[in-house]
Amino acid sequence: MIALRRFPPERSAPVSSKHMGAKSTPLLSQGTDKMALVKTPQALQTMQFLSTDSGRKAMCGDWTKFDAVPGTKLAKLHHAIDDAVKRVSALEWDKTRSEPQRHQAARKIAEAVVAEINKTRAELKAYTENETNAAMAEIDRALAPSIDTAAQVVRSEIRAFVLSKKGDPDFITELRGLVESDLRFATAIFEAPAALSGISPERMNTLRMNAALAHAPEASERVRVASEIAGLDRSLASVAMEIPRSFYSPGVEAGMQTRVEVDAPLSTGEGQ
């Protein structure tokens, strides 16, 4: 296993939208094809994007947007990818290796960086699950009803009032405002089945999200960020698929199989 250096890269400006939508090689800087072992347009474009900070942020996520724990994990992965791309690019000028040997070395680098990507994906998945669970528990506490008897009576009356407005189309918007501004309305609706308030389960879920944003804003933001981080998994999986075919060609590497062993003792015909 090739050891890739792991420490955060320096920050830089985000990638532009036109670069994120690139589909052809004109975006590549001159000479890029001379620093890549695989010369296909897709491979050259991948190498170009992964060689820049803005390109890596576009493909793997912007680590500067996140808090210390997920941000550091993602920053280390960015640096590992950068290190891998530089090594593969340098192989083009490695005169100590034949062409098949250069592709074989690039395969080892690809395997190392893909392992780093998969490790980071697993770490981020564990983080987002824990963060989401903790934040949702905080939201549940914020929206928990009071056990006070008088409060229970009020909540029952609120549900009866909401039920009486079932046929009023204007009350849909009004109810959202009540849930967001008055915690008693939120707890009254959420502590009982949706039918007791005359609303659908889907409508209740929407109202609960509205109430969470209003009464537990910090926890709601944690859920949003965790969801955004979880969404990076698909992008990282895509990068892990692109790297091997952008780093080396299995067909060229297969040339190693034609190697003639010259260090073995010469045959004298004995035992034949």
**226, 132 Cβ separation under 8 angstroms:** yes
Determine the pLDDT at residue 262.
75
Comparing 16 with 262, the larger pLDDT belongs to: 262
Determine the pLDDT at residue 179.
95
- pLDDT class of 36 with cuts at 50, 70, 90: confident
| Overall size of the chain counted in residues | 272
C-alpha torsion sign, points 60, 65, 66, 68:
positive
Q: What is the pTM of this model?
A: 0.73
For 11, 124, 226, 233, the CA distances from 71, given in Å and listed in that order, are 12, 10, 12, 14
Give the lowest-confidence range in 47-61, 221-235, 253-267: 253-267
Burial of 6 (0-12, 13-18, 19+ CB in 10 A): middle
Is the confidence at residue 192, as pLDDT, over 90? yes
Q: Hunting for tokens 């590992």 — which residue is that?
A: 80
